[in-house]
Amino acid sequence: MTIPFAVGAQSRFSKTVSESDIYVFAGVSGDLSRNHVDEAFMRRDGRGGRIAHGALLVAYMSAASTRLYEPYVEGGGAEIPVSLGYDRVRFLKPVPIGDTVTVTYTVSSIDPERGRAEAAIEIHNQHGELVAVATHVVAFPTRAKLFGGSSPSAD
């Protein structure tokens, strides 16, 4: 199988984490931990304030992935990139409300026999500090294989 991307292919996604991002994500995910929604609790003892959910940062990783792969899919590429998951996810520093994070997503390896690729992901804050890392595993099934031999309608 041919993987339609090369090692080193890269995308970026930047976002300033807002209070509404955290509250909406807390509501959607059900994660109402005080670390995310209780300002007074987080300021007590010098904690500094509320921080973003780790899973919200993973969602930003997914956004960077989409920025790389979606133009190929929209262009009618034969394969449809499908996430198999995120490995070795580590949250290295808290991300408080108001920080701007930049996700750098870089294809790091390709396994054409298995039809898979891996990407190294780094998230830095506006100070250049590394706040999270992960490896993303992506499969590249053909449209026919993914959709059982037929293409989806354009409805």
Domains in the chain (CATH in brackets) are: 10-146 (3.10.129.10)
Tokens of 117: 């690729």
Mean pLDDT of 38-61: 92
In this predicted structure, which of 52-61, 101-110, 146-155 has the lowest mean pLDDT?
146-155
| Mean confidence (pLDDT) of the chain | 91
Q: What is the pLDDT of residue 152?
A: 46
- Let me know how long the chain is: 155
Mean pLDDT of 18-22: 96
Q: How far is CA 142 from CA 79, 82, 114, in A?
A: 4, 10, 13
Q: How far is CA 144 from CA 74, 94, 98, 117, 124, in A?
A: 16, 43, 44, 19, 38
Q: How far is CA 15 from CA 119, 129, 136, in A?
A: 20, 15, 20
At 149, is the pLDDT very low, low, confident or very high (cuts 50, 70, 90)?
Answer: low
**Whether pLDDT at 150 is above 70:** no
C-alpha atoms less than 13 angstroms from C-alpha of 102 in its C-beta half-sphere: 11
Of the two residues 104 and 155, the one the predictor is more confident about is 104
Torsion from C-alpha of 70, 25, 31, 37, nearest 10 degrees = 150
Q: At what angle do helices 19-29 and 54-74 cross, to 10 degrees?
A: 90
At 154, is the pLDDT very low, low, confident or very high (cuts 50, 70, 90)?
Answer: very low
Tokens of 44: 């007590």
Q: What is the pLDDT of residue 142?
A: 81
